[in-house]
Structure 1
């Protein structure tokens, strides 16, 4: 028999017969009006679950992972303030419904049904996914999570602390607010969850305020894999820096008491806490899941006997509410939801790619203009560096000065990452910034890329412009889902109502001589190019790096974009181009108001024989090859892409003209930038083109560091071969 129907009939029969579960609460813990309101929120959540399955059978709905068994989360919706930001587990419909009731916001039933129907009228995602979320209710939308939202919850909590002294123009979280994130017991085991909890504890034991409440909804199973009995409590109750609370989430009266106690503790102490709620999972994991195929029937029935709605009914009856009235609320809600579902049957939906992609790029926002610091303040901060600012410098120094100017002009711009503070970064790119701007703006983090990016995402939720640093490109892969699954999707799944703008600096690419092998020399950016909406910038000279970094910051600040700024490690210290001592690769620092706009390319030379299209280290090598080709009578133009996503197509095609094209791509032959560039050339009717790429290989350490990469000599040979075709 259908388990959904069994649970439904059990509830009707047991309430009518006063066959209530044994409860530790008396019903006196909540006044009758509050208890009834919470019960109504729980029942609406249950009724929506039931209707989602009916909608799917009719071909009108597309998502049936429900909240049945987790209705106790209504307690958190009641206990927390409406302006406490909440990152929710996907089984937390009762939380959102209870929070809406607390806020006096109507229409939640219709809104959720529109979400089930993937209707373009859905106020949260506009039909792009069935998500919980609401801008007025301070609930950023989440898709199906594997606890990937926990790192940004840590960041959001830290942003509340930072904003108390340095409040951004676009801050949305109150000074005395807290952040909450909820998740299942199975997701707790994911490295992302463990990393976020560890980061919160690591922060708290150092005395840094972090008002964050973790809520683990423990139903004892993840799809079909059981959680060992006592595992959650054993692993979380004695963590340094983390206050542990627990309660029976089946009993709304007990759950409210525990939620209020935990939330009050976090708000008062400004420290993280962990609330462990016992729940059950009813109906299996999702619609097609046949739970009795992997669990004994007796276990399934035992969970069904602990239906949270039965516990709520127990308390209401103990308060004097007749059982028939309790049932009337339930059956009436089922009828009301069914009627509402009929009314939205013809709701509009997304019909084409343009409509689907309409929220992929965040909306621009109004930003109060700034005139920047006074000359005296700038001279004070730059200190002794001012004596050298008009002298040619390598790239690392010019990026450092650009960061100085950005932080001087924009008080809410923050740097964060491993070693960026006192050490000044692995290559000195962030040196002196910690001393000049302080630890609240230049944040030394723990060694965990997921936490670094999560910190940035959460800070951006509250109006800061974070510039996180990933020490080496290869270490991004440990945390790539924080970009793909969290940062880049937020605008898309929220119709642009939520954004997390940032500029991610990555020490990147290859050609480090004899150092570190494939972790410190990594020439694969395919994982970045595959993320819709993300901007990728890659400078190759110091002056252009400074100007492009300013444009990246503007794109984040004004256009709310997620930007990745790839800094070629091998070019950080580069001074010479053709001969030792020529100093031809050093540049002077551009004025603070100079930027290089996205969509432009760098053009070097007017040669008509050949166009070499490249970027990063490839630009440096191509300029050397350009010199060698000129000595042999071949006049080449070198085109530096600068912007790798989106590609500056119009500017590139114009710069190429009718020249044969050699693409020099320091990334791998498979998945590298050259693949897109060759397609672009073919689409624009350019008949003669070729590519020189790195081999499909990791990079070696020692003398063979460049063996698999394009070289100066290789570019010359490839140019000759192309011209002889």
Structure 2
């Protein structure tokens, strides 16, 4: 007999015998009707756990990580408002069920069983994954396996305060709301959790509003690894800026009372709190997990004897709210109902093909108020003396700064955040004067933690802002890449487009910084971004293009709710000359605020048909340097600046190369995992008759000092490769 069946039969027998675990009498604060309602939510959560296992055995269900032992979370839901955004631990079915009781018109049993069955009728993910979540219940879906949802919960809490000071057009969360996130004691040790908790405290001690309730569900074990006794309390009780609360999660009366006290503190003080909830884990980690293979049977049985449902029946009996016989009747009826509904759900449709699965990768467009750009007076007042310089050629960094200024004047919901972006104006001066122009609420100097920077952006996107976070160097993204891959990019996928977190992530990166080494300051690998479905990657090579593309990126985020990465080549920030000293050949003028470069629109320099050079970023600059020698060799050449690296602008590439005799790809990233691999594949499949070659960086980190450019493509290397590909002369 498996442990789920043992727990089930223990409940039936012990309730019938009035054999309850010891505990304190029920506290005041819950009406009899509310207490019984919470018990019903707990029982439904338990019944769904049992039914999910039966569905899996029958080949009708696909998820068996249950919530048994954590049913006390129903009382936490009761202590919150259904409009309080909740980022849930995967064991929080009871929370979602109890919240559904607070919102009219919900069919929670049907909805959750559709999710177990991965039916395309599932109202949250459309059959893509078994996740807790509901738009109506303000529960964004996430897997929450390693507490990776905590940084965005911090961001959502910050957005609640920020929206009071600067209300965005698409605000979702109520002004007096709070944010809540829950997680297990094992996940509390993960860097994402520690970083988020640290960020919350760091923010709180500066008196910045951050209405966030952390809920740690402490069952004492993570799969098979035990949490040291007292560890959570010892490590969390005295965190600066965060108020600590503790409750027995087996007691719904105590849990509701303490959770309400914690929630009231967060709501009233606009400061974070940490609710430490003692729970047990029943059945093991998941369906295939047998806890007696790594735990003494006595320990497993001790947890089973502490079944929270047994505690609730005892408490309800002592309160005079429900008799044990009535509790048994509710339990049996609920189990029968879930089994009956599961039979119906098994006949509902599933996703049938790749197109249906992929349909929610791209979020839906949203209506936005029309904007005409900033007024002439607003621009004059804001730019000041910079207005006089706009007619003169400038380097890229300055044009990006001006583009950000115009965009922030146009869209009040734009918020920039990152390390050093405010007072200092960025490491390379790209965000200079922005904080003076728009204030610290819209240009936020964050702590030095990329996970928290991106979490702040994701959370603010949940409340209608258009965040423009900055990661100072491309290599630092690796510290936080899962915030893009596992959280931001997957949100529309897992929610069938119902939840989105649009943003424009600015990253200074790529190689060719003289005197700098890698892997931190010269990082020429985009592989970490290229394999994330749904993410747009933009990479300008000139200042004019950067300004126009940044405007399009903001439009994509604001109107189409996309996650966009705007990759800025550091080495081209200050670039002025192209062929010789003081020729000014790489500086450009600032385009008027209404000019954009559309997604998928490539840049073309020249109209030669002997050779097409397909490139981007620093590769474009080097190819332009090589152009005079190629033309002197008789090669009529055109240079195609991709601009948009993902999705690959295949239509434009086909149109701009199909009349050329040869194609040379110049890619400053490494031979392995680079954009050139996708381009070589594209041309091989699309235009196999056109000879194609590539110039790429070596599979190597970049050295510091004079050898910085040795592994990277060069002007001479481009010339040599072009001559070798074409036979030397057309």
If the TM-score is normalised by the length of the shorter chain, which range does it land in?
over 0.9
Residue 356 of structure 2 is matched in structure 1 by 355
Question: Deviation per CA, 1:39-71, whole angstroms, max 9, x where unpaired?
Answer: 000000000000000000111000000000000
TM-aligned CA deviation for residue 18 of structure 1: 1.2
1:136 maps to 2:139? no
Question: What is the distance in 2 between the residues matched to 1:84 and 1:490?
Answer: 18
TM-aligned CA deviation for residue 407 of structure 1: 0.1
Residue 172 of structure 1 is matched in structure 2 by 172
1:682 maps to 2:684? yes
How do 1:13-92 residues align onto structure 2 when only pairs under 5 Å count? 13-26=13-26, 28-92=28-92
Residue 623 of structure 1 is matched in structure 2 by 624
Q: Which region of structure 1 is more displaced relative to structure 2, 528-537 or 381-390?
A: 381-390
Residue 205 of structure 1 is matched in structure 2 by 205
Question: What is the distance in 1 between the residues matched to 2:142 and 2:386?
Answer: 46
Q: Which region of structure 1 is more displaced relative to structure 2, 712-721 or 28-37?
A: 28-37
Aligned residues, how many? 725
Give the SS at the match of 1:590: coil
TM-aligned CA deviation for residue 144 of structure 1: 4.5
Question: What is the distance in 2 between the residues matched to 1:17 and 1:606?
Answer: 89
Gaps of 5+ in 1: none
TM-aligned CA deviation for residue 545 of structure 1: 0.3
Residue 219 of structure 1 is matched in structure 2 by 219
Question: Deviation per CA, 1:480-522, whole angstroms, max 9, x where unpaired?
Answer: 0000000000000101000000000000100000124321000
Give the SS at the match of 1:134: coil
Asked if the contact 2:373–2:594 (Cα under 8 Å) also holds between the matched residues in 1, the reply is no
Cα RMSD over matched residues? 0.9
Give the SS at the match of 1:524: coil
Residue 301 of structure 1 is matched in structure 2 by 301
Asked if the contact 2:457–2:503 (Cα under 8 Å) also holds between the matched residues in 1, the reply is yes
Residue 668 of structure 2 is matched in structure 1 by 666
Question: What is the distance in 1 between the residues matched to 2:337 and 2:518?
Answer: 64
Asked if the contact 1:681–1:689 (Cα under 8 Å) also holds between the matched residues in 2, the reply is yes
2:699 alignment partner, one of 674, 696, 699: 696
Residue 576 of structure 1 is matched in structure 2 by 577
TM-aligned CA deviation for residue 103 of structure 1: 1.6
Asked if the contact 1:133–1:139 (Cα under 8 Å) also holds between the matched residues in 2, the reply is yes
1:333 maps to 2:337? no
Question: Deviation per CA, 1:354-382, whole angstroms, max 9, x where unpaired?
Answer: 10011110001100012232211110000
Asked if the contact 1:129–1:143 (Cα under 8 Å) also holds between the matched residues in 2, the reply is no
1:715 alignment partner, one of 705, 713, 718: 718
Pair 1:27–1:517, CA change in 2 (3 A)? closer
Residue 515 of structure 1 is matched in structure 2 by 516
Give the SS at the match of 2:519: helix
Question: Deviation per CA, 1:311-339, whole angstroms, max 9, x where unpaired?
Answer: 11011111233211111111110011111
Asked if the contact 1:629–1:716 (Cα under 8 Å) also holds between the matched residues in 2, the reply is yes
Give the SS at the match of 1:612: strand
TM-aligned CA deviation for residue 104 of structure 1: 2.7
Gaps of 5+ in 2: none
Query: Structure 2-normalised TM-score?
Result: 0.99
Asked if the contact 2:233–2:276 (Cα under 8 Å) also holds between the matched residues in 1, the reply is yes
Question: Deviation per CA, 1:589-629, whole angstroms, max 9, x where unpaired?
Answer: 00000000011110001122211110000000000111221
TM-aligned CA deviation for residue 631 of structure 1: 2.3
TM-aligned CA deviation for residue 230 of structure 1: 0.1
TM-aligned CA deviation for residue 28 of structure 1: 4.4
Question: What is the distance in 2 between the residues matched to 1:29 and 1:549?
Answer: 54
TM-aligned CA deviation for residue 105 of structure 1: 3.5
Asked if the contact 1:47–1:337 (Cα under 8 Å) also holds between the matched residues in 2, the reply is yes
Question: What is the distance in 2 between the residues matched to 1:322 and 1:267?
Answer: 36
TM-aligned CA deviation for residue 29 of structure 1: 4.1
Give the SS at the match of 2:197: helix
Question: Deviation per CA, 1:177-236, whole angstroms, max 9, x where unpaired?
Answer: 000000000000000000000000000011101000000000000000000000000000
Residue 727 of structure 2 is matched in structure 1 by 724
Give the SS at the match of 1:182: strand
1:260 maps to 2:263? no
Q: Which region of structure 1 is more displaced relative to structure 2, 669-678 or 516-525?
A: 516-525
How do 1:232-247 residues align onto structure 2 when only pairs under 5 Å count? 232-247=232-247
Question: What is the distance in 2 between the residues matched to 1:723 and 1:415?
Answer: 47
Question: What is the distance in 2 between the residues matched to 1:657 and 1:50?
Answer: 60
Question: What is the distance in 2 between the residues matched to 1:165 and 1:239?
Answer: 27
Give the SS at the match of 2:37: helix
Residue 429 of structure 1 is matched in structure 2 by 430
Q: Which region of structure 1 is more displaced relative to structure 2, 563-572 or 165-174?
A: 165-174
TM-aligned CA deviation for residue 166 of structure 1: 1.1
Residue 651 of structure 2 is matched in structure 1 by 650
Residue 403 of structure 2 is matched in structure 1 by 402
Give the SS at the match of 1:720: helix
